């Protein structure tokens, strides 16, 4: 069975560690980055099935990362998460063609189901 | 173009016809779905609050049955839940009323472009399948002849 790969982008170390341990426990390959710029470096060097990114981050935020990815990596689905949800950011996320918009705090099992279904959809 | 307000329907229909689109107007969800079944629409403008099913349910039905149609949702009272639901159901865009007609026009043009691209991709995929099938048949004939 194919091992899935996910890139988690969040400036909060606690969230990165939590998701790293969880996805490793599910048998996934996981890479982590603390902002959009680091995420783009990782995307240029390894194969990733899905990006799960926070919106509010220093340097390059999640919406800027998604905009950049739509140009360079249009086939990689993006799920955005945020502790500061708003209509405006959700509309921007929709326009960036993200596949889901998750509000924090999240239930990790529900989040996992979303991620798993989006990766399976991508695989067809 | 689906909106329960006759004035909005008339103004938008007149405007988009004036700039070269063929426009059908619908006032409720049943009307939208019956028209969608009879026409290949490039773009659907759907207000979130329609009579009958909600605009979001219409979006879900259009996305599932006519994925090549780009659906733009309109709302005068958007909430976070409504926008997230529209995102999850595959809306092409979400426009808050009152809208700027120039901005809406640009979005509609982009949506129409996406529809064209999808149709081209579908046509190329179908042609590719036909070519592969024809190749397989030629291969089979050759095997039969030489074997």
Instruction: For B67-110, write each residue's pLDDT tens digit.
Output: 999 999 999 999 999 999 999 999 999 999 999 999 999 999 99
Task: Kindly state the average pLDDT of the residues A63-89.
Answer: 97
- Cα B19 to its chain centre, rounded Å, is 19
Chain A interface test: which of B73, B83, B99, B111 (most A C-beta within 10 Å): B83
Q: What is the pLDDT of residue B146?
A: 45
pLDDT: is B61 or A123 the higher one?
A: B61
Instruction: For A15-55, write each residue's pLDDT tens digit.
Output: 999 999 999 999 999 999 999 999 999 999 999 999 999 99
Chain B interface test: which of A91, A95, A121 (most B C-beta within 10 Å): A91
Q: How confident is the model at residue A75 (pLDDT cuts 50, 70, 90)?
A: very high
Q: What angle do the packed helices A108-123 and A13-25 form, to 10 degrees?
A: 60
Please report, for residues A4, B3, B42, B45, the alpha-carbon distance to residue B101 in angstroms, rounded to integers and kept in the order given.
44, 16, 19, 13
Cβ contacts of residue B86 below 8 Å, gap of 6+?
A94, B48, B56, B59, B73, B94
Answer yes or no: do A91 and B78 touch at CB < 8 A.
yes
CA dihedral B97, B72, B7, B12 (to 10 degrees): 110
As a whole number of angstroms, the distance between CA A54 and CA A12 comes to 9
Residue in chain B closest to A88 (alpha carbons) equals B80
Sheet holding B43-47, edge to edge: B43-47, B70-75, B93-96
Q: How confident is the model at residue A123 (pLDDT cuts 50, 70, 90)?
A: confident
pLDDT: is B126 or B116 the higher one?
A: B116
How far away is chain A from the Cα of B145, in angstroms, using its nearest Cα?
38
Lowest mean pLDDT across B2-16, B60-74, B124-138: B124-138
**A86, A94, A103: residue with CB nearest B87:** A94
Residue numbers in A near B94 (CB within 8 A):
91, 94-95
Instruction: For A103-122, write each residue's pLDDT tens digit.
Output: 999 999 999 999 999 999 98
Residue in chain A closest to B77 (alpha carbons) equals A87
Instruction: For B28-70, write each residue's pLDDT tens digit.
Output: 999 999 999 999 999 999 999 987 668 999 999 999 999 999 9
Chain B interface test: which of A94, A104, A110, A124 (most B C-beta within 10 Å): A94
Q: How confident is the model at residue A124 (pLDDT cuts 50, 70, 90)?
A: confident
**A81, containing H or E segment:** strand A78-82
Q: How confident is the model at residue B138 (pLDDT cuts 50, 70, 90)?
A: low
Answer yes or no: do A86 and B94 touch at CB < 8 A.
no
pLDDT at B147 over 50: no
Answer yes or no: do B87 and A101 touch at CB < 8 A.
yes
Is the sign of the CA dihedral B100, B102, B104, B107 positive or negative? negative
Residue in chain A closest to B96 (alpha carbons) equals A91
As a whole number of angstroms, the distance between CA B109 and CA B115 comes to 10
- Residue A11 has, within 13 A of its CA and on its CB side, a CA count of 13
Answer yes or no: do B93 and A93 touch at CB < 8 A.
no
Q: What is the pLDDT of residue B67?
A: 93
Please report, for residues A39, B56, B66, the alpha-carbon distance to residue B53 in angstroms, rounded to integers and kept in the order given.
41, 8, 18
Answer yes or no: do B83 and A91 touch at CB < 8 A.
yes
As a whole number of angstroms, the distance between CA A58 and CA A34 comes to 9
Q: How confident is the model at residue A95 (pLDDT cuts 50, 70, 90)?
A: very high
User: What length does chain B have?
Assistant: 147
Q: What is the pLDDT of residue B143?
A: 53
As a whole number of angstroms, the distance between CA B43 and CA B20 comes to 13
Answer yes or no: do B83 and A95 touch at CB < 8 A.
no
pLDDT at B142 over 80: no
Question: Using the 8-state DSSP alphabet, how is residue A2 labeled?
Answer: P
Residue numbers in B near A63 (CB within 8 A):
none
As a whole number of angstroms, the distance between CA A3 and CA A26 comes to 10
User: Has this prediction a pTM greater than 0.90?
Assistant: no
């Amino acid at each position: 069975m194919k091992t899935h790969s996910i890139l988690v982008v969040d400036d909060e170390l606690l969230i990165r560690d939590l998701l790293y341990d969880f996805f490793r426990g599910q048998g996934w390959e996981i890479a982590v980055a603390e902002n959009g710029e680091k995420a783009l470096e990782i995307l240029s060097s390894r194969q990733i099935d899905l990006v799960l990114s926070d919106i509010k981050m220093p340097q390059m935020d999640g919406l800027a990362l998604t905009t950049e990815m739509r140009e360079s990596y249009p086939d990689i689905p993006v799920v955005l998460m945020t502790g500061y949800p708003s209509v405006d950011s959700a509309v921007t996320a929709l326009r960036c063609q993200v596949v889901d918009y998750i509000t924090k705090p999240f239930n990790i099992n529900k989040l996992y189901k979303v991620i798993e279904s989006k990766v399976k959809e991508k695989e067809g | 173009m689906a909106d329960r307000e006759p004035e909005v329907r008339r103004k938008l229909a007149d405007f988009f016809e004036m700039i070269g689109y063929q426009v059908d107007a619908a006032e409720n969800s049943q009307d939208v779905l019956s028209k969608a079944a009879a026409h290949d629409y490039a773009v659907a403008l759907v207000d979130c609050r329609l009579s009958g099913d909600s605009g979001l349910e219409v979006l879900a039905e259009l996305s599932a049955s006519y994925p090549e149609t780009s659906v733009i949702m309109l709302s005068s009272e958007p909430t976070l839940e409504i926008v997230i639901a529209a995102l999850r159901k595959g809306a092409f865009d979400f426009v808050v009323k009152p809208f700027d007609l120039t901005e809406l026009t640009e979005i509609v043009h982009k949506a129409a472009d996406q529809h064209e691209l999808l149709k081209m991709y579908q046509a190329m995929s179908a042609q590719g399948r036909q070519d592969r099938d024809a190749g397989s048949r030629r291969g089979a004939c050759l095997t039969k002849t030489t074997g």
